[in-house]
């Protein structure tokens, strides 16, 4: 099946051309029919006038003869036929049993309908005889009497050839066809130019909209004229100005929010340092306190640790938001880096690592440690044992997989696990963690130019990190 054109330009050109073709066909058909009717009418009138004129010149007696009149002879009938004859014509004159002919036609070539109607009046008919179109004029001669004209029985049938008329009509058809083709070509050119003129503002609007989508919010278009497209362009400029103002305000608010988070995070560091020092002393004394004060001390220590982790994460996020995060790449033994990450955090006994000892990648060791720590920490806190870490070299990079065997993340939450402060399930709203770990892990992966993805397993959840060769 031929696909239909979907472009506005193609549809405009096709519609314009179809209208032009339809109009050309209609005008050509009407013009041809009018010319044909006029030509045939002129030919018929000329033929009828000729036959009428010649028949009125008959001087010999016909019909009901009066005293002293002799019936017409074959010679006299032949003279009538000769008078009606002409180039290409064929004449038949019938009177009783006498028939005079001038030309190749015979009475068998006269249509029966015409023969019958010729007894009453002068009649005409077009008919193809012997593979040629003829105009046949049939008439009966009437004789004037004192009472009323009387039929005489003398009938004439004149065959007028219409080959010249057919040639004229053929020439007219050819001329109209050529004119129609010329009109269609002109219409097609006009349609192309008109479509270009009409669609030029549309293309400009499309390019301007694309520029807006790419962030060039100062894009504006010149307004020409006062038609609908000019009004649309003006509306576009108004919308672009409003969008630029709104985005500027949002960017300003976002910058203020980032500065606020960064400032608050840095300001909290000093009291947290003091709180952490006091917490270390309280931790040593907690075992010698009564049960209820000891439980309160342990709760305070736990919340101080959560607050410290949150502040550290906020500071890290603020660096990414400010665009100040940088990479310090160096050759890193992946297996050793993963083991060191687990040992520092006391997770070595809870995680199984599968990585070649000779696997070396060009990484930022601190940021790689953050990636592994956040993914493994998430698996230990919210997944189920055993937690597995697999690392291998691929054709174009390094692949690290972290999998747990817990209940798994709900399917509807998979698309949001890397969002800031997102926690899957209402029950985790007060769980340990800041809700920023996976977001920070993804930011560090992207800083390396890599990707991180998550999908459900049976059982558990699998995180896959890919870091390219650099």
pLDDT digits (tens, 9 = 90+) for 293-336: 777 777 777 777 777 766 676 666 666 666 667 888 999 999 99
CA distance 244 to 219: 9
pLDDT digits 0-9 by tens, 349-360: 999 999 999 899
At residue 354, the pLDDT reads 92
Decide if pLDDT at 181 tops 60. yes
User: For residues 412 and 100, what is the distance between their CA atoms, to the nearest angstrom?
Assistant: 107
132-143 vs 98-102, strand pairing mode: unpaired
Asked whether 171 and 188 are in contact (CB, 8 A), the reply is no
Q: Count the Cβ atoms, other than its own, within 10 Å of residue 470.
A: 13
**Position with higher pLDDT, 261 vs 16:** 16
Q: Is the pLDDT of residue 1 over 60?
A: no
User: Which tens digits make up the pLDDT trace of 206-228?
Assistant: 888 888 888 888 888 888 777 77
Backbone angles phi, psi at 426, to 5 degrees: -65, -25
Task: Assign 426 a pLDDT band (cuts: 50, 70, 90).
Answer: very low
pLDDT at 136: 92
Least confident interval from 145-154, 248-257, 282-291: 282-291
Q: Tell me the domains of the chain and their CATH numbers.
A: 8-169 (3.30.450), 229-321 (1.10.287.130), 327-468 (3.30.565.10)
pLDDT over 60 (residue 20): yes
Those residues with Cβ within 8 angstroms of residue 245's Cβ, 6 or more apart along the chain or in another chain:
none
Provide the terminal-to-terminal Cα distance of the chain, rounded to the nearest Å.
Answer: 50
pLDDT at 402 over 90: yes
For residue 203, give both structure tokens: 């293309």
Give the global pTM: 0.47
Model confidence band, residue 156 (pLDDT cutoffs 50, 70, 90): very high
Sheet holding 461-468, edge to edge: 351-354, 387-394, 397-403, 461-468, 451-456
Give the integer Cα–Cα distance in Å for 116 and 106: 16
Q: What is the pLDDT of residue 323?
A: 66
Tell me: pLDDT of 348 over 70: yes
pLDDT at position 428: 45
Helix%, strand%, coil% for the chain, nearest 5: 55, 20, 25
Strand, coil or helix: what is 136? strand
Calculate what percentage of the chain has a pLDDT beyond 70.
86
Indicate the SS3 state at residue 222: coil
Q: What confidence score (pLDDT) does residue 194 get?
A: 77
**Per-residue confidence (pLDDT) for residue 76, from 0 to 100:** 87
Mean per-residue pLDDT, 455-460: 88
Which has more confidence, 343 or 150? Answer: 343
- pLDDT of res. 398: 92
Of 51, 50, 44, the closest CA to residue 165 belongs to 44
Percent of the chain whose predicted confidence (pLDDT) is above 90? 16
Residue 269 has pLDDT above 70, yes or no: no
């Amino acid at each position: 099946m031929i696909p239909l054109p979907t472009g506005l330009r193609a549809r405009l050109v096709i519609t314009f051309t179809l209208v032009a073709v339809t109009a050309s066909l209609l005008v050509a058909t009407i013009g041809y029919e009018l010319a044909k009717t006029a030509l045939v009418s002129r030919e018929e009138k000329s033929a009828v006038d000729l036959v009428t004129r010649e028949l009125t010149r008959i001087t010999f007696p016909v019909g009901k003869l009066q005293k002293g009149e002799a019936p017409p002879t074959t010679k006299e009938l032949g003279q009538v036929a000769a008078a009606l004859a002409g180039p290409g014509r064929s004449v038949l004159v019938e009177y009783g049993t006498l028939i005079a002919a001038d030309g190749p036609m015979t009475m068998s070539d006269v249509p029966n309908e015409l023969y019958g109607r010729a007894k009453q009046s002068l009649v005409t008919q077009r008919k193809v005889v012997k593979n040629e179109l003829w105009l046949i004029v049939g008439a009966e001669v009437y004789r004037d009497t004192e009472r009323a004209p009387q039929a005489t029985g003398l009938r004439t049938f004149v065959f007028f050839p219409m080959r010249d008329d057919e040639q004229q009509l053929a020439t007219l058809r050819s001329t109209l066809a050529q004119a129609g083709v010329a009109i269609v070509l002109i219409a097609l050119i006009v349609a192309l130019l008109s479509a270009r003129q009409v669609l030029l503002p549309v293309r400009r609007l499309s390019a301007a909209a694309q520029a807006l989508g790419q962030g060039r919010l100062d894009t504006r278009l010149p307004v020409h004229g006062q038609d609908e497209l000019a009004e649309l362009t003006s509306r576009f400029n108004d919308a672009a100005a409003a969008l630029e103002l709104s985005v500027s305000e949002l960017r300003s608010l976002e910058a203020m929010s980032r500065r606020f988070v960064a400032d608050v995070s840095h300001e909290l560091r000093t009291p947290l340092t003091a709180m952490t020092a006091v917490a270390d002393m309280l931790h040593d004394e907690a075992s010698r306190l009564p049960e209820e004060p000891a439980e309160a001390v342990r709760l305070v220590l736990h919340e101080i640790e959560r607050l410290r982790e949150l502040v550290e994460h906020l500071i890290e996020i603020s660096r990414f938001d400010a665009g100040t995060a940088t990479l310090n790449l160096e050759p890193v033994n992946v297996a050793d880096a993963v083991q060191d990450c687990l040992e520092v955090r006391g997770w070595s006994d809870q995680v199984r690592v599968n990585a070649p000892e000779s696997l070396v990648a060009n990484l930022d060791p601190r940021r790689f440690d953050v990636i592994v720590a956040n993914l493994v920490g998430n698996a230990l806190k919210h997944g189920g044992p055993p937690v597995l870490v697999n690392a291998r070299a691929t054709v174009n990079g390094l692949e690290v997989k972290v999998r747990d065997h817990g209940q798994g993340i709900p399917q509807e939450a998979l698309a949001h696990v890397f969002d800031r402060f997102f926690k899957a399930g209402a029950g985790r709203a007060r769980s340990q963690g800041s809700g920023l770990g996976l977001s920070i892990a993804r930011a560090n992966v992207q800083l390396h130019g890599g990707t991180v993805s998550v999908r459900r397993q049976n059982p558990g959840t699998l995180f896959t990190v890919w870091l390219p060769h650099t």
